[in-house]
Structure 1
Amino acid sequence: MTHALPQLTGGIFLSDGGLETSLVFLDNIALPHFAAFTLLQDELGQERLKSYYVPYLELCGEMPGAGFILETPTWRASSDWAALLGIDATRLKALNTQAAQMMCAMRARWAPRLSGPIVVSGVIGPRGDGYVADAPTSVDEAADYHLLQAQALAAGGVDMLAGVTMTTAAEALGISIAARRVGLPVAISFTVETDGRLPSGESLGDAIGKVDAYAPPAYFAINCAHPRHFEHALPVGEPWIARIQGVRANASTKSHAELDDSTELDIGDPEDLAQRYRGLQGALPRLNVLGGCCGTDWRHLRAIRDAWTSQAF
């Protein structure tokens, strides 16, 4: 696949749900620091990761013409988190590349079963906590920090990069610059608090504008927040609205602080979540990449898929 991303020309693209929350709360798999990429280190873990994606690919295969964004399990696979896990730089690079290669192999196996394209996306998470705007403090620092992971994912053959759960425009811009340095398109996905603003206090529109002004990504997305938290922050007619093509929402309506304090999984109401996705069609005219985040699993994505095509109404 070339760097011309098929989701940019329209059509519907599904993705997976909350990888880490599914593994921890539904499968009872211990993930230190919520780092799913650590499962790549043995054959049993690799097989568990592969099996996680299967229900989502099956859902996509049942939807004529739909494509799929196959995301690598590398949200925590950057150097600061690796240091906490006792993984050195050489091993970290190899694991990122391995993750990309595993997704490319899954694409080869599943492509004949889907009528739409499969895009392999290399996930880059925030340097700090996904709910707190704490690091890095500058665009240059972010670009330098995330470049190593971008290079490793590119070496593994991904079609694009995805900077997800971004809490500041500065870090998002740094990832966009890093993607440009490795010659790959990138999607930038922001998370928001219950007031519709980034944890940094920036509005979605301001954050998108800052990134677009210097290193425009292929498109933007919103993840790790319930639609109730950002529906009201999408003013009709603003030019930046047309730059948002993806949503990966949380299942729960709880705030980030409440989720941090939770000891049990809150799966929310899958049908209500699906209807809210459907309602976003009017607010986000270019929205065509649909997935889930914390608390969601294949049941949520099935409801979202059906609601989007009005099959459930």
Structure 2
Amino acid sequence: MPGPGEFELIREYFGSRFNTGARQGSDAHTVALGIGDDCALLNPPAGKVLATSVDTLVAGVHFPAAEDPFRIACRALRVNLSDLAAMNAEPLWFTLALTLRDSDPQWLEPFARGLAQTANQYGITLVGGDTTKGPLSITIQVTGACEQPLRRDGAGAGDRVFVSNQLGAAAAALPLILREVDGSVTQMEQAYAAYHFPEPQFAVARAIGPYASAALDISDGFLGDLGHICEASGLGADLDLDNFPVAELARSMNGETALETALTGGDDYQLCFTLPEKHLQTVQKLQLPITAVGRMRAAAGIQCSLDGKPWQPGATGYRHF
């Protein structure tokens, strides 16, 4: 029996379970018209800058095609929300373009449930999108609003380099997710949490927003992404890796190469940011889950040291092409 058609699919799975009406709080009534017309009608919050980002996730490239659709949906929206967090933007709206091999209700129901649960958790409203037939891919565009956007091009020579939380768990998780290696119950729990449920760092971004000079989220590996800040700001960086925050899963799975996994593995969706020295004591008093790992410098390139000696990993991060 064939599944629902396009408009029935939209109504059944992406209609009433999402909040397409007024938002609560200071941004109330930003959605004048949501799903169901040619365009959504949106009211930008007064006095704020809009931040928007779009990402496409392709089955077999960005997630295992046979994975639980609930987890696929949670991951798809969370990694997009991470871009808003990196810009210090509060989430407002998102659109979904979904390409499906067929309109299978057994796949659509958990996918829509995971998407709605994540959207409601982070207070973002689905306002439109598109569905079409083809190889499975998910494109999500998110829009948020900010008063103090964090950009990549604001770092200065001498600024401290920080990262939030620990890195390397998602890269270490992938072989477990793909069943390429076996893991303990604890390792599997850590793997699913790291890979499918990354936590957009909104709280850290809000706290550092008044003080940081540049920021981005770590999606393609710390070294590669720090390189984007360096390039945008016309600087380089010196890194001291003695106390680099390596995730427990990376240590348990990768042993001696855990540090390299944390530096280059990607998919962490933590924040990398730079902080002028004059704000260092103020930010340290906030007791945030952040670690200072180096300094920006005028000369180009990234130089690493470990145990007081120069050290370089074998790679810098994920490459899309």
Q: So what's the TM-score if we normalise by structure 2?
A: 0.24
Tell me which protein shows more helix as a share of its residues.
1
Tell me which protein shows more strand as a share of its residues.
2
Q: So what's the TM-score if we normalise by structure 1?
A: 0.25
